[in-house]
């Protein structure tokens, strides 16, 4: 497994794991205000997924999709799976084609700015890591116990152990 596969696999799996931990939470818990980040757990999760969608749209030079109103945890899990599959496929194609250093134009910047595909792909992954730390903080403050650390090394060790058992 190469480095990109590890980063993408960890990002998707760990984000999905945190969303799954949110399944039993009430709307009141998901929408409780905190003094960090996007203020609520639901808003932070929506932001993370929308970020994947927007950056994929930008890099693929297509119209930016509207912010999807679907925001139940099962709906967010579905959106994550769909958007991440497309993002990961795009990232793999850019890597395979040797285009990580190629530039594309971010039309949302004013004025529009050229960015590298590799930088944008890495940005999406590290952006999610930043917000997963906030999600873990929200969950802890909501009283959820036995939270995962969420680190890449732990994910990699679990991945290798589970594939060795199969």
Q: 11-26 pLDDT, tens per residue?
A: 999 999 999 999 999 9
Tell me if 102 is assigned to some domain.
yes
Helices 73-96 and 117-141 meet at what angle, rounded to 10? Answer: 150
Alpha-carbon span 118 to 103, nearest angstrom: 9
Residue 108: pLDDT band (50, 70, 90) is very high
Query: Which residues constitute the domain of residue 131?
Result: 3-160
Is the pTM higher than 0.75? Answer: yes
* Both tokens assigned to 112: 């529009």
Q: 70-105 pLDDT, tens per residue?
A: 789 999 999 999 999 999 999 999 999 999 999 999
In the chain, the N- to C-terminal Cα span, in Å, equals: 17
Percent of the chain with pLDDT over 70: 98
Q: Write down the mean pLDDT value for the chain.
A: 94
Helices (H), the chain: 3-22, 27-30, 41-59, 73-96, 117-141, 152-165
Burial code of 109-142, b = ≥16 C-beta within 10 A, e = fewer? eeeeeebbbbebbeebbebbbebbebbbbbbeee
Tell me if 54 is assigned to some domain.
yes
Percent of the chain with pLDDT over 90: 87
State the total domains in the chain.
Answer: 1
Asked if 62 and 52 touch (Cβ cutoff 8 Å), the reply is no
* Both tokens assigned to 29: 């818990």
Tell me if 165 is assigned to some domain.
no
Give the CATH number of the domain where residue 11 resides.
1.20.120.450
Asked if 55 and 122 touch (Cβ cutoff 8 Å), the reply is no
Tell me if 92 is assigned to some domain.
yes
């Amino acid at each position: 497994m190469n480095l990109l596969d590890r980063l993408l696999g960890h990002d998707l799996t760990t984000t999905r794991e945190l969303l799954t931990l949110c399944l039993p939470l009430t709307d009141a818990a998901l929408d409780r205000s905190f003094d960090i980040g996007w203020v609520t757990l639901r808003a932070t999760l929506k932001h993370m997924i929308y970020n994947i969608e927007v950056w994929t749209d930008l890099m693929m030079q297509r119209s930016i999709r509207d912010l999807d109103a679907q925001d139940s945890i099962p709906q967010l899990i579905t959106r994550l799976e769909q958007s991440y599959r497309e993002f990961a496929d795009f990232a793999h194609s850019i890597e395979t084609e040797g285009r990580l250093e190629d530039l594309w134009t971010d039309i949302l910047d004013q004025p529009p700015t050229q960015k590298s595909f590799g930088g944008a792909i890495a940005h999406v992954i590290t952006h999610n890591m930043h917000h997963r730390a906030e999600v873990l903080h929200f969950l802890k403050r909501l009283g959820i116990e036995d939270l995962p650390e969420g680190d890449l090394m732990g994910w990699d060790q679990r991945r290798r152990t589970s594939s060795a058992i199969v």
